[in-house]
Amino acid sequence: MKAGGLVHDGMTNNERQTALWLASVFSLRMLGLFMILPVFALYAEHLRGNTPALAGLAIGVYGFSQALFQIPFGFLSDRYGRKRMIYLGLLIFALGSVVAALADSIWAVILGRALQGGGAVSAAVMALAADLTREEHRIKVMAFIGITIGLSFAVSMIMGPVLNGWIGVPGIFWLTGLFALLGMAVVRFQVPDPTVSRVHRDAEPVASQFGRVLFDGQLLRLNFGIFTLHLLLTATFVAVPLALRDAGLASGKHWEVYLPALLFSMAAMVPFIIVAEKQHRLKPVFLGAILLLALTEFGLLTLHDSVLEISLLMLAFFTGFNLLEATLPSLIAKMAPPDAKGTAMGVYSSSQFLGAFAGGALGGLLHGRVGLQGVFAFATLGALAWLLVAWTMRNPSYLSSYLLNVGALDEGQAWDLAARLTQVPGVAEAVVIAADGVAYLKVDRHALDEAALRAYAATER
C-alpha cells in the first residue's frame, strides 16, 4: 500500500514531504504521551505521596490540559504564526517531560503530565499541513497523519514496557523530552514555511461554527463516543498493569501481552472495516465493536487472575478499540456539515482528551476505594451506556468530503456556484465560501463525475 495515496495522484514532492514530516511530529509527541500508559500504575507505587486516586490523575491529567489548550493554540497560530505556536507547544511539552523525569513525588509527576498536555500543538500542526497542501490533496494528507497517530499509539504500548525494563519510567520521560526537541528540529529544518496562512474550515475550528456543531445531535453522540472510548482506555490501564503483576507477570514482560494483542487486533479489525465501508454496514459494525468492549471489560471484571485470560481479553479490547478509533473519525466526516468539518473535529478531539482525563481520574479513585473490580465494573457500565447512546444514532450517509479551489468570488457568485455544483452527478451537498475561494462538498465517489466537477476549479475556469 502506498501511504494512502501520498505517492501519486499529482501531489508535489513538497506536499509529500510535508505530510511525512508533520506526521513524524505527531508521532514523536504521541509516543511521549502514551509510552507511560502501560507502565505508570506500577511505577507510581514508589512515589512519595502516592495514592491510587493520584496515580490515576497522573495518567489522565494530560487530557484535561490538552482539551483546554488545543483549540486556543489553533486560534493563536492564525494570529502569531503556525511554527511559533508549534515551537512553544513542543517546548512546554519538553518542560513537562523534564519535570516528570525529575519528580520524586506523585504531585510533581501530575504537574509534569499537565504541562505535557498543555503543549497542545495538534490544531496548529493540522493548520500548517493545510497551509502547505492544495485543497484537492488535503484529505489524503490528513488521513495519512491520522493513520500515523494510530500506529504511534500501537508502538507506544509495546515500547513503554520494553523501555521501562531498560531505562525506567524517569528515563522514558527524559526520552519524551528529547522527542519534543526532535519535533522542533523537524519543524524548523524539514517543514517549509507557508507562503500564506489562512483559516481552513476543513482542518481547524472556526469560532462561528461552534454553536452549529455543539447542538448537532448526531455529532454529540459521536463526541460522547470518543469521550467514552478514551475514558475506557485510561481507566483500563489504571488497572491492567496491576492485574498482570498480581497474576505473576513481571512488569518488564508486559510487552509480551501487548505485542501479540496489538498485532492480532490490527489484523482482526481489517475485515470489519471493509464490511463497514464497502458494504455500507458501518452502524452494525460500530455497535458490535462497542458491545465487544463491554464484554471485554466484563471479562476483566470476572477473569483477571490469569495472565492467559488477561492476554486474550486484551486482544479483544484492542480489536474493539482500534476498530472504533478508525471508524469514529470517518463517522464525524460523514455527519459534519461540509464547511464545518474542522470545527467538528476540534470538538471531537477535545472530547477525546477529556475522556482520557475522566478515565484516569475516576479509574484511580475507584481503584483506591473499591479495588480493581471497581475499575472494571465502571468501565463495563461506561461501555453499555455508550452502546445505548450509539443505538439511537442514524445510519450514516456514505459520502466523502471533497474540496475544490474555485478562486476569488463575491457572495452572489458563491451562491450561484454552489447551486450549479449540486447539479454535478455525485455531488450531494455544496457550500462555497467566497472569502476562502473554496467549495466544500459531500460527494458519492462511485457516482461522481469528477471531470465535470473539475471544470469549476479555479485553474480551469
What span, in angstroms and rounded, lies between the C-alpha atoms of 163 and 113?
A: 18
- Mean pLDDT to the nearest integer, 285-301: 98
How much is the CA Rg of the chain, to the nearest whole Å?
Answer: 22
Number of domains in the chain: 2
Does 411 share its domain with 353? no
Per-residue confidence band for 80, with pLDDT thresholds at 50, 70 and 90: very high
For residues 11 and 288, which has the higher predicted lDDT (pLDDT)?
A: 288
Q: Is the pLDDT of residue 124 over 90?
A: yes
Give the domain CATH number at 203: 1.20.1250.20
Q: Do 427 and 282 fall into the same domain?
A: no
Cα–Cα–Cα angle for 219, 3, 436, rounded to 5 degrees: 50
Q: Are residues 225 and 285 in the same domain?
A: yes
Given a cut of 80, is residue 1 above it in pLDDT?
no
218-250 per-position pLDDT tens digit = 999 999 999 999 999 999 999 999 999 999 999
Closest C-alpha to 304, from 238, 364, 358: 238
Q: What is the pLDDT of residues 318-343, one digit of tens each?
A: 999 999 999 999 999 999 999 999 99
> What's the pTM value of the predicted model, to 2 decimals?
0.94
**What does the pLDDT read at residue 18?**
92
- What's 426's domain CATH number? 3.30.70.100
375/244 same-domain check:
yes
Q: Please state whether 400 falls in left (phi above 0), alpha (psi between -120 and 50) or beta.
A: beta
- 35 class by beta-carbon count within 10 Å (0-12 exposed, 13-18 middle, 19+ buried): buried
> Sign (positive/negative) of CA torsion 298, 348, 195, 402?
positive
Q: What is the pLDDT of residue 140?
A: 86
Cα(98)–Cα(112) distance, integer angstroms: 7
C-alpha cell read off for 424: 454535478
134 and 238, same domain (yes or no): yes
Using one digit for the tens of pLDDT, what is the confidence trace for 50-78? Answer: 999 999 999 999 999 999 999 999 999 99
Whether 204 and 236 map to the same domain: the answer is yes
Structural domain ending residue among the three candidates 391, 413, 430: 391
Q: What are phi and psi of 255, to 5 degrees?
A: -60, -25
pLDDT band at 393, cuts 50/70/90? very high
Q: Which long-range contacts (CB under 8 A, 24 or more apart) does 137-140 make?
A: 137/9, 137/10, 137/11, 137/15, 138/200, 138/202, 138/203, 138/403, 139/202, 139/400, 139/401, 139/402, 139/403, 140/4, 140/5, 140/6, 140/9, 140/11, 140/19
Quote the domain boundaries for residue 454: 400-460
Please check whether residues 149 and 186 belong to one and the same domain: yes
Structure confidence at residue 8 (pLDDT):
44
**Confidence (pLDDT) at 9:** 56
pLDDT digits (tens, 9 = 90+) for 195-217: 888 888 988 999 999 999 999 99
Domain endpoint, select from 391, 424, 444: 391
Q: In 84-161, at which residue ranges do the beta strands (DSSP E only) sit?
A: none
The pLDDT value given to residue 135: 83
Higher per-residue confidence, 162 vs 2: 162
Out of 391, 410, 431, pick the residue that ends a domain. 391
Clarify whether residues 295 and 177 are in a common domain: yes
Among 22-26, 202-206, 358-362, the range of highest mean pLDDT:
358-362
Mean pLDDT within 400-409: 90
Alpha-carbon distances, residue 1 vs 144, 265, 279, 289 (angstroms)? 12, 19, 21, 25
Question: Residue 459: which pLDDT band, with cuts at 50, 70 and 90?
Answer: low
Closest CA to 323 of 274, 284, 272, 277: 272
| CA–CA separation, 461 and 455 (whole Å) | 6
Position 198 scores a pLDDT of 85
Res 298: pLDDT: 98
Bridge-based pairing of strands 427-433 and 400-405 is: unpaired
The CA distance from 105 to 115, in Å, is 16
Instruction: Mark whether 326 and 434 lie in a shared domain.
Output: no
List the grid coordinates of 421. 455544483
Given a cut of 70, whether residue 450 has pLDDT beyond it is yes
Which one has a higher pLDDT value, 288 or 203?
A: 288
Quick check: 234 and 290 in contact, CB under 8 A?
Answer: no
Terminal Cα distance for the chain, rounded: 34
Asked whether residue 2 carries a pLDDT value surpassing 60, the answer given is no
| DSSP assignments along 27-47, one per residue | HHHHHHHHTTTTTHHHHHTTS
Q: Is residue 387 located within the same domain as residue 440?
A: no
387 and 414 assigned to the same domain: no
- What mean pLDDT is reported for the chain? 93
Q: Is 371 left (phi over 0), alpha (psi -120 to 50) or beta?
A: left
415 touches 443 (CB < 8 A)? no
**Is there a single domain that holds both residue 420 and residue 347?**
no
The contacts of residue 212 (CB under 8 Å, 6+ apart) are 337, 340, 343
